[in-house]
Amino acid sequence: MKILVVNAGSSSLKYQLFDMVNESVIAKGAVERIGIPGSRLTAKGNGRQKVYEQPMPDHKVAIKLVLEALTDGEIGVISSMKEIGAVGHRVVASGEYFKKPTLVDDEVIKTLEEKTFELGPLHNPAAAAGLHACMDVMPGTPMVLVFDSSFHQTMPEKAYMFGIKYEDYKAYGVRKYGAHGTSHKYVSQEAARFLGRDIKDLKIVTCHLGNGSSITAVDGGICVDTSMGFTPLDGVLMGTRSGCIDASAVEFLARKKGYDAARMVTYLNKECGVLGISGVSSDFRDLEAGMEAGNERCKLALEMFSYQTKKFVGSYAAAMGGLDCIVFTAGIGENTPYIRSGVCDGLEFLGVRLDEEANNAKNGGAREISAKDSKVKVLVIPTNEELAIARETLALI
Ligand code: AMP
């Protein structure tokens, strides 16, 4: 069975076509600038690449072109769309409406559009546009929605509630939802597989550290807590996001800077984090280079990031009453030994001992970086959200 995975943004659309017999990617590509002059699709298949430059006023035109590329005489990998058994769509926000991957029908579309758009105003309308575009050009093909937050739906009430009036939680759905759930689920399962253990017997903390970063407590394969909140702004400081901050400081800053609420949210999402601290970059490679050149603010940004991540690891060990494994994943988690070392440093009391040589070794695959005598296994597991979505889609249909 072949499964198409679609990740639609407001003006972009990424896709991968999997052959689920061996979970291989047989084609992939990205559309940029949908609805903006200069639209283009870069498509790969058959070991070749082709760039299509033509107007794409909306997602439907973009999807049509993707399907043309998939059946193209030169880079095409299928002879007709009928070969695609199902389409998995990445959706960011689920609210409390979708607790697991969901097969699309009229009712599901209604709930997606009427209930979740205000929870993910930038992302969910784009996902819906991608969904409608696929349904138009592939009528009859099963469509599955896979939500970033659904893995976190198992959190107990005490973990997901904020300390606000209960009636306001009930009326407006203001609570922790979390994000990166597809990645946390995937790497925790891969970690158990790597260790040759049943995930039901493991207490794992997964650290998805990238431009957006979140940490999750996975107890017996189930999410019991996560660091992102109502939106991805919460938790540790990130590339450009502040992470958690006293709400009174937000009001104080808004008054001092003359910002309204919407401008403040943009400030906290786009201008803060390690970019705001360093004044140099949101990219950790630049921060490391800056630190090596003696820039104290780059060093501070890196230290804050490690320190805040470490605190989540420790608090989640406490929440689960133990810790068997720490998993690092995503751009920083997979590629930045300095941060992994900084997070683990001081966690010896929990039984964490890093093998610095293994931590510093250049190796792209899943690997163990803890010392042989470390009670807690420390792993680097490359994430693969697209494959995870394809697996969820296949499982559902
Ligand atoms: P992500 O959001 O998962 O793509 O992660 C992006 C972050 O990973 C950026 O801050 C990068 O600096 C960091 N990073 C560090 N090393 C690498 C690398 N070799 N490749 C990609 N990202 C890297």
Answer whether 305 contacts ligand 1 (Cβ < 6 A): no
Whether 167 maps to a domain, the answer reads no
User: Is ligand 1 within 6 A of the CB of residue 71?
Assistant: no
pLDDT of residue 283: 95
Number of H helices and E strands in the chain, helices first, is 15, 14
Q: What is the pLDDT of residue 12?
A: 87
Please, are residues 198 and 192 in contact by the beta-carbon 8 Å criterion?
A: yes
Query: Are 312 and 266 contained in the same domain?
Result: yes
pTM: 0.93
The pLDDT value given to residue 364: 82
Residue of the nearest CA to atom 4 in ligand 1? Answer: 331
Residues 37 and 128 in one domain: yes
Which residues form the domain of 43? 2-147
> How much is the pLDDT for 119?
86
With the most atoms of ligand 1 within 8 angstroms of its CB, the residue from 183, 209, 240, 284 to mutate is 284
Quick check: is 296 in a domain?
yes
Burial 41-69 (b: 16+ CB within 10 A, else e): bebbbeeeebebeeebeebbbbbebbbeb
- pLDDT tens, residue by residue, 149-207: 999 999 999 999 999 999 999 999 999 999 999 999 999 999 999 999 999 999 999 99
Give yes or no: residues 353 and 207 share one domain: yes
Q: At what angle do helices 59-70 and 124-137 cross, to 10 degrees?
A: 50
Q: Is 331 in the pocket of ligand 1 (CB under 6 A)?
A: yes
User: Angle CA(281)–CA(359)–CA(380) in degrees, nearest 5?
Assistant: 80
346 and 246, same structural domain? yes
**Count of domains forming the chain:** 2
Of 303, 296, 260, 258, nearest in space to 279 by CA: 296
Whichever domain contains 18, its CATH number is: 3.30.420.40
In a domain, 396, yes or no: no
Based on the fold, state whether residues 126 and 234 are members of the same structural domain: no
Residue 222 Cα to ligand 1 midpoint, Å, equals: 27
Q: Give the containing element (helix H, strand E) for 206.
A: strand 203-209
Contact (Cβ atoms closer than 8 angstroms) between residue 127 and residue 73: no
**153 domain residue, yes or no:** no
Check pocket membership of 337 for ligand 1, CB cut-off 6 A: no
Judgement on whether residues 366 and 241 belong to the same structural domain of the protein: yes
Catalytic residue among 72, 148, 219, 324: 148
Phi, psi for residue 54 in degrees, rounded to 5: -160, 160
Q: In terms of domains, do 134 and 208 share one? A: no
Residues 67, 138: Cα–Cα separation, whole Å = 9
Strand 203-209 to strand 325-329: parallel, antiparallel, or no bridges (unpaired)?
A: parallel
Do residue 188 and residue 140 come from a single domain?
Answer: no
Cα(118) to centroid of ligand 1, in Å?
30
Regions in the chain scoring below 50 on pLDDT: none
Q: Does residue 75 sit in the same domain as residue 123?
A: yes
- Whose CA is closest to atom 22 on ligand 1? 331
Q: Is residue 52 part of a domain?
A: yes
Residue with tokens 């900084």: 342
148 is catalytic: yes
